[in-house]
Amino acid sequence: MAVVTFDPRSLSTPVYEALSGLRQNNPEDKHKDQKNQAVELYTYLATWGMMRLKAEENALNQDGKKQVVKKYFECLQTLSGQQNLAGHQGLDVLKKLSADDYLGLTGLGLELANEFSFWANAVYHDVKGEQ
């Protein structure tokens, strides 16, 4: 049996890069929404689940928040190898997964959401207050 080692940077690096990119490529008036959404991802996901979060992506009308959810699903797709998760068909992909695959993806998603929360506080360290 091959030894598989887990490198924690495999979760941290794409999240840091995603949030840093959002911050650099958006005006300051979006930073508070981006930070708040990134911090809230874990609680939302733990409360409502992966399918609801994916559906919420289309319902969000604040660009800053929507961008964070899109980046979250892009990172999750990359890390999980689950194709078409980040696109418009992502909800259909989630609906069609087996229970085991959905639960496994949710577990990975929770860890990823935790990383978003941590890195939001680091990347947006100078953004104060809530909405």
Q: What is the pLDDT of residues 86-100, one digit of tens each?
A: 999 999 999 999 999
Tokens of 69: 């959810």
Mean pLDDT across 71-93: 95
CB 76 within 8 A of CB 14: no
Distance from C-alpha of 51 to C-alpha of 125, rounded to nearest angstrom: 30
Report pLDDT for 31: 95
Q: What is the pLDDT of residue 1?
A: 47
Hey, what are 9's tokens? 């940077």
Q: What is the pLDDT of residue 4?
A: 47
pTM over 0.85: yes
pLDDT at 7 > cutoff 80: no
* pLDDT exceeds 70 at position 2: no
